[in-house]
Amino acid sequence: MASYMDPRRGEKIGEFIQSRKDLKPSRVLDIGCNNGAISIGLSKTAKTVVSGDLLNENLRKLVPRKRKNNMVMKFDALSLPVKDASFDVAILNGVLEHVPLGKEGKPDTVQSELLSGIWRALKKGGLLYFGIENRFSLKYLTGSISHNDMRFIDPLPRKLANAYSKKVKGEEFRQYTHSMWAYRRMLKGAGFKDIEFFMSIPNYQFPEKLVEIDNGREISRSVDKHVDKKLYKAGAKAMTAMRLQKLFSTNFVMMARK
């Protein structure tokens, strides 16, 4: 998978979801669907996929490619125009960190509001598939560029990160990512239970394999198989050898139940 337009991204996510044998993903809600590649992949196995995004340009890319069982809607993730308890699965992949850009208030409070809205949209026993970066990932600690196009900002204390962003870019830092423990608290606060954590390899946007976050040996093996970058491989081996993947994993994929 080399392109964000590749529907195999959604097919892989669908495989991971279907590994939950007690779940029948009949109705799926893809929140912040972007170009719709994930929705298209999911629509091959789900009965209905509802894809939503705030940007018309993203929806225009999806409409000509969508399948008949793929409904496309323009909506704000914070105001989901769906009935309560109407979906079996919700997809939130690379979206939560951007939501505070569209609403005033503390970024983590805005993010929690979104998670609560998703909880309401899911049926009892429904599943949230949630992919995002780790605030303290090795890539951020070693200088990879963050979502707001700055280096080293995510791991900083929030007040310092905000001051840094205002100094360099003249704007607040609002694209929050979090630690594993903070994500767990946010999900529990929204009402979710049975929360599972995985590392997606090579990353959560192009998932070839999900490995349980406790399984350091399998993380190392999977990185060796699916990743070409030598520095990434070396970092993963060192991280898992010291059993620090919960702290420094590049990403988390979470599956949580209503």
Q: What are the extents of the domains in the chain? A: 8-133+176-216+251-257
Measured CA angle at 87 (ends 85, 90), to 5 deg? 120
Report the alpha-carbon distance of residue 55 to residue 75 in Å, rounded: 9
Structure confidence at residue 207 (pLDDT): 95
**48-78 tens-digit pLDDT:** 999 999 999 999 999 999 999 999 999 999 9
- Average pLDDT on 4-31 reads 91
Question: Where on the phi/psi map is residue 228: left (φ > 0), alpha (ψ -120 to 50), or beta?
Answer: alpha
Q: Does residue 216 contact residue 235 with C-beta atoms inside 8 Å?
A: no
Structure confidence at residue 182 (pLDDT): 99
Structure confidence at residue 243 (pLDDT): 97
Measured CA angle at 143 (ends 137, 146), to 5 deg? 70
Q: Residue 24: pLDDT above 90? A: no
Q: Residue 2: pLDDT above 70? A: no
Structure confidence at residue 5 (pLDDT): 87
Q: H or E element: which one contains 148?
A: none
- Average pLDDT on 206-219 reads 97
- Average pLDDT on 103-111 reads 97
Q: Residue 104: pLDDT above 90? A: yes
**Confidence band (pLDDT; 50, 70, 90) for 237?**
very high
Q: H or E element: which one contains 211?
A: strand 207-212
Q: Residue 131: pLDDT above 80? A: yes
The model's pTM is: 0.96
Cis peptide before 207 (omega within 30 of 0): no
Q: Does residue 131 contact residue 250 with C-beta atoms inside 8 Å?
A: no
% residues pLDDT > 70 (the chain): 99
Torsions phi, psi for 241 (to 5 deg) = -60, -35
Report the alpha-carbon distance of residue 158 to residue 178 in Å, rounded: 11
Domain 8-133+176-216+251-257 grouped into CATH 3.30.559.10: no
Q: Residue 88: pLDDT above 80? A: yes
DSSP result, 71-83: EEEE--TTS--S-
Secondary structure (3-state) at 197:
strand
Of 129, 109, 108, give the one whose Cα is nearest residue 118: 129
Q: Which DSSP state fits 258?
A: -
Report the alpha-carbon distance of residue 80 to residue 217 in Å, rounded: 40
- Average pLDDT on 202-228 reads 96
Of 84, 180, 175, give the one whose Cα is nearest residue 130: 180
Q: Which DSSP state fits 208?
A: E
**Confidence band (pLDDT; 50, 70, 90) for 1?**
low
Secondary structure (3-state) at 20:
coil
Secondary structure (3-state) at 6:
coil
**154-184 tens-digit pLDDT:** 999 999 999 999 999 999 999 999 999 999 9
Q: Does residue 155 contact residue 135 with C-beta atoms inside 8 Å?
A: yes
Token pair in block for residue 109: 């409070």
Structure confidence at residue 23 (pLDDT): 83
What integer best gives the mean pLDDT of the chain?
A: 95
The alpha carbon torsion through 149, 154, 187, 252 (nearest 10 deg) reads 80
- Average pLDDT on 244-258 reads 98
CA distances from 20 to 184, 198, 203 (A): 20, 14, 21
Enumerate the β-bridge partners of residue 211. 199
- Average pLDDT on 222-235 reads 92
